[in-house]
Each structure stands twice: as C-alpha cells, then as structure tokens.
Amino acid sequence: MSTRSIAVANQKGGVGKTTTVVSLAACLAERGKRTLLVDLDPQANATSALGLEKLEGGSVYQALLGSAQLADSIRPSGYDNLDIIPSEVDLAVAEVDVARAENYLQRLQFALTPIAAGTTATEATATGTVAPPYDFILVDCPPSLGILTMNALAAVDGVIIPMQAEYFALEGLAVITRVLQQVRDSGANASLELLGIVLTMYDARTNLAQQVAAEVRKHFPDKVYKTVIPRTVRLAEAPSFGKPITRYDPHSYAANCYRSLTEELLGVGPGAAAEPASPTLAAPSASPPSTPATV
C-alpha cells in the first residue's frame, strides 16, 4: 500500500479538527498502520494532545522555506507506529514568509514528497534496514483558509472535514468545498478529494443537531461518515493528560466511535466496509461496553 495523505480541515475553530486528527492517528497506529501526524497549526494543540513539548525549530517551518529536510523534524510520539512533526509558535510567521516564496502553495507538497515516497527514512532498524514508508500522513490544519491550510490542501490526497451540527454549518461547508475546487483548478493538486464530512460534538437529543445532520446528508449524500462523534467530556479531558482517547479511556464510547470512523476511512468511503483487521494487530476488544451509533 502506498502512503495515503489526509488533511483534517475546516476554517472554523473549535469544530473538532485536532481531536479528530489525533484520535484517527492513534486509531490507525493501534490498527498497525504506520502513521505520521503533521501539526500545521501554530497553536500546536495536536502536539500537546500527544503529550509532546513544542520544540523551537522543530516544526515544518524551515522545510516550508526550503532550508531543511522535513524528515529531520519527525519525532517519535511515544506510541507504536505513530510519529509526529510537532508545531511551534514560530509557525505563525511562516504564513508571511511562505507567501513571499516561489510556488507558495506547494511548499508542503514538495517537502512531504520524499517522506511519502519513503526515500528519506532516517530511522534504521537494528539490522540496518530502512523503515518502510508511512501508510498514512495526517495533517492538522489551523482554523483558517490561509497559506498553511492551502499548503495542506495542495499536499494531500484527500480531506476530512469535521463539523459541528449547528446553525450556519452548511454555509461553512459551502466555503470550504469551494476552496477545494479552487485548489483543484489552480493545478496545485488536481486530484484533491473530499473524503468525507464527520459530524463532531454531536448531541442527538437536540432537534437542531438532527436537522443539521439531515441537511448535510441531503447536500452531500455520499460524503458524510456514518459514524458520528458524540459530545463527551472524555474527549475534552484527554488532551490535558497528553493522551489520545484510545489511551486515555480505551474502552469509552468516544474511543470506539473514532475506531469506527477509522474503519470507514480504511474502507472505500463513508459507510464502506473496511478491510478486515489483521488478527495480530487489531485492538483487543473483548467486550466493549458500547458500540458506536451511526445516524
């Protein structure tokens, strides 16, 4: 399998991008998929959600400007199969610097290409063989459609859009889907795919959430993941312990929801059956207390 690269994007803040990207990365890693999480948000929430310190000079910044190899910024996350390129505050400056650079939309694309191809793997095993390329590269985007997000969209195969089922959600979706089309038309990434929309912080008890979910499914019939992420305090707590939900509360409903979303992702698209889990790598799930609901 070649590397699949995915950006988790939405111009709105607080919709669950970071929670979703960190949880998906942890679930993919748990499933035995070699995963690289790229924190492209200067706020570095994904970095700290995995319990890592921001490291000056350790982000994508230098590589975006072409003055360093991106592979040199890869750090182990402390979890099996999961590496990270952390973020740092300086990344905020990158918006300005990158905007002045040549091919400013494709800086991340160029920087990621050797990593996706596996040709810069610096990590060597005891036998001296080079580690295989990543199965997945996931990119956490800042809450804007600025240069950094545009670089992410130009660099990846597909996009997952997390959204809250609230008023104006459809307007927000219209904006980002238009931007995806602009990225395709610009030639920066002609094959960019909308992989799916995931409803986050979903409260099934409210009429509004149900109405918005129905509207979004009507407008994007094949693009809304069946798995819905509920609003739960466990997901809000996990980052302060520096752990993904699959480690903070492995048998929780929320962890199982993200596992279920991962299965959809590993399948062909929203609602598709996933490839069978490898028996040696599948998460132990003796009897999970709850199975994720889908709407």
Residue 14 touches ligand ADP, criterion: CB under 6 A: yes
**Which of these segments, 10-18, 78-86, 168-176, 220-228, binds ligand ADP (CB under 6 A)?**
10-18
Quote the least distance from Cβ 42 to Mg ion, whole Å: 10
Q: What does 19 bind: ligand ADP, Mg ion, none (CB cut-off 5 to 8 Å by kind)?
A: ligand ADP
| CA proximity to 40, closest of 170, 153, 136 | 153
Q: Residue 56 or 203: which CB sits closer to ligand ADP?
A: 203
Choices 86-94, 152-160, 230-238, 271-279; region in contact with ligand ADP by CB under 6 A: 230-238
Of 29, 84, 173, 235, the one binding ligand ADP (CB under 6 A) is 235
3 contacts Mg ion (rule: CB under 5 A): no
Provide the mask over 18-47, with x wherever binding to Mg ion is found by CB under 5 A and - wherever it is not: x--------------------------x--
By CB under 6 A, tell whether 231 contacts ligand ADP.
yes
177-207: b (≥16 Cβ within 10 Å) or e: bebbeebbeeebbeebebbbbbbbbbeeeee
Site for ligand ADP in 98-157 (CB under 6 A): 143
57 binds ligand ADP (CB under 6 A): no
Least CB distance from residue 142 to Mg ion, whole Å? Answer: 7
Of the listed pieces 98-106, 170-178, 225-233, 245-253, which binds ligand ADP according to CB under 6 A? 225-233
Query: Whole-number minimum distance, CB 19 to Mg ion, in Å?
Result: 8
Q: How far apart are CA 113 and CA 132, in angstroms?
A: 15
| Site residues, Mg ion (CB under 5 A) | 17-18, 45
| Site residues, ligand ADP (CB under 6 A) | 13-19, 45, 143, 200-201, 229, 231-232, 235-236, 239
